Each structure stands twice: as C-alpha cells, then as structure tokens.
Structure 1
Amino acid sequence: MNTWIFAGICDKSELLIYVCKMLAAGNYNVLFVDATEKRKYPSFIGRFDKPLWITEFSGFDVACGFDDEAALNAYLKCSDGSKKYDYVIYDLEIPNFCSSATWREASARIWVTDYEIWTLENGGLWLQDAIHRHFSEDMEPEMHKVIVRTAEEWFDLSYLEGFFSHLPICWMDDPLILPWNELDWSVKLRNEHTRTVQMKPLTRGYKRKVCEMVQMLTDWDQKQIHRVLRAAERRRA
C-alpha cells in the first residue's frame, strides 16, 4: 500500500481529487481521507442525510468524519469485507491526524502551498510544528514541494525558499508549479456544484503538471500516464 500525505493549510482539493481520479482510472483502489480543518469534502460529494464515513465517489473512496487516523483504521478493521487499498491519500491540514509512524513511513510527503502571503507565513509555522511533532531532531524527512494556483510567476525560487529553508527538511527536486487561470477555476466550480469530476475541460498546461506530479510519485512511464489521463477524461462520473 502506498501512503501519500499532502500536507498544508491552503486549499488543494481540486488537485487531490484529480490525482485520485487518475489513480482510479488506472484500475487502482484508492482511499482519499479528509483530514482538513473544515471537513470540506462532504460538500463536494453531496451527502448530508447521514454520516459519510467511507463513500464511493467518481471511482475512488472518500473517508470523511473521522477524528484521526486511529478512528479510521478501527472503522476499516471492523467493516465487513473491507477492501485493500493500493493508495491511501491524505488531504492533511490537522498536524496530529496521522500518527508519527505514518508520517515517517509514508511513501511520499508532499508540501502544498500557494503564493498567498498568509499561506506562506502561517504555512511555515504549521510545517515547523508538524516536523517537531513527528520527527526526532536527528531526522531530516524528505518532502516534495508543490505550488498551486499560480498566475504571474514573478516569484523566484530563492524568495519562496526564504519561508521554508530554515526547516530540517530535505526538499526533493525543484518545486512543481501548477498554473491556474479562469478556465481551470470555472472547471473546479462546475465540478463542485454538479458533484462530478470532469478533467477533459481543464487547460492543457494544468493537466500536464498534474501528470508530472503523478509520474513524480509513481513509477509509471509516459505511455501509462497518457493512457490513464485519457481514461480519466472519458469517465463521466
């Protein structure tokens, strides 16, 4: 099982839903865990009549309403016929939602931020606290850095690194920067209001960067990435 922790206090919902849909389109069993402060994903799924717990959505399962990872694991253990997941993906805004063991043993840890000054300043404090909670002083965890919803890129990398360079983290590769424009924004809103995950209308540049991120985190080659993207675009759910 692969565990991916997408950590950070900025809204990264559309990106993670697209990633989950691509993994599901590759015929993998995916569990997506809502560990956000506002527990936002029930709104996207559109189920308010009863607790969601674990609900299928657009080809993958979404876990909502759990206080922490221990409660989620207890639920999975007690569920009759619970299936095995190839990927467990966390949208993590609550630093102590996952255990220290999960933080340390995760297949990938990805820090997601945008360029808003509030996010950068408070995100640095959030990440510092998380590292202090879950890693000993002699550890330097490896993390990827992803920047979402970027427009004009007048920021250079040295400016961005000023917010995080003091942290005991081994940053892997250069940051992956995802472009963002009005069309991508409109697709996000349309998907939320229709409770679907349509990827085909997204801009080519945005989809290219999503594919780069999936390839960065998996061992898939270009042909498999292209095939999975086409499958995700065809699926209407």
Structure 2
Amino acid sequence: MVALSNDVKLPKELLTLTERYYKLTKTKIPELSYSLTNKGKKRDYQSYIKTRGELSRVTQRKFRILKEIKNTLPHFLAAVMVKAKCKVLFQEDLEIDPRGKKGALGKAIRTMPKGANIFEKAVLIASSILGYEIKLILVDSRGTSRYHNGCRGTIDRTLKRYDRARCKKCGNMVDTHVNSAKNVRDKGIEILQSDNHSSPHVRSMGKTSSSESKPLVET
C-alpha cells in the first residue's frame, strides 16, 4: 500500500493493473477454488482436472500482474518526486513490526517487498533525473495509524470502518490512509530537525538541507 501526503492521481496503466489483480484475487480465484472443491467432492474427475488447470493458469496470471505492478511503481513514485522536486522521502518502517496481527495490516506487512527495494529504486531514478540525491528516511510506525493528525485524538477503526473512521476526540470522519501518511511525514520532519543526523533510520543519499526539503511520504 502506498499513501502520499500530497494529492496524486495514479496513471491509467497502473490503475488497470491493480483492477485486474484485485478482480483475480477477490473474485476469479475464490470462485475457481470453490468450484474445484465441489468437483472433488462429487468425484467429477474430468471437470476437476480442467478446473485445476484453469486455476493454475489464473494464479500464474495474478503473479505476473503483481510483478508488473512492482516494476511500474518505482517509475510512478519517481515521477511524483520529480514533479514535486522532492528532496526527502519518508517511508513507514512496517517490515520490522508486523504486530502479530492476522488482519488487513498484518497481511499488508507480510506482502511488502523485502528491503523496500521499490522505494530505493524510485529514489535512485528520481535522483538521476533531478541531478541531486534524495534522502530516504525510515520512520517508526508506532502510533501512525492510531492518532488523528489534526487533533491527536484516537481514531476509532473497525473492520467495517477501516478506510474511513471517526476520531473520538473531534468527531470528524478521517481518511485513515492519508492521515497515517501525514503522521509519517510529521515524524520524518522531526527526525530531520533533530541534531542526531547519524540515526540508523536515515539512509543518506547525499547532502540535503532539511530547511529546503520538499518531503513526500510513503506508508
């Protein structure tokens, strides 16, 4: 999942790929799996073999689409950074702390690309175009999803209200993804403004003035 603190429209190619991936994951593959189970119970072996082959082909197609999405994302993120003349990218460090959850957050963390290579590649592409090296900062994920960026109240998220939830303090409905991105941005700015620039959470890609930085955030 990627969330930016700035308003950005996804390119049509990337939207098409994500829609295809979502349809295969949420509809086509579950339907074929259900059909395969029923045919196995009925011992309809000819139809079972045919359905199993189709399920295998669809699953392979899903992974090819996912690979294409991962290949496209760095170029999209780089284009966003170039347009914003970005000097800093804040990335929420989710890989180190899956929090033991089996819900949407836990699943998202487990499926994240190892080593954050998508974002490192995006930084390298954007840096080569802009002519200066962008700084990549890893931000502690604790509290980024829990607190409202506006009033610091607690966000009341449930399974039914995950993308948009109400703040217990101010009562406003909050886009949880954008809110989390803003919290990551603010935490990253605090790291930039601190005196400890040798923090292991900072991956320096070159000399950058924090006062002149135009930050983007990924979460």
Tell me the TM-score normalised to structure 2 length. Answer: 0.31
* Structure with greater helix share of residues: 2
Q: Which one has a bigger Cα radius of gyration?
A: 2
* Structure with greater strand share of residues: 1
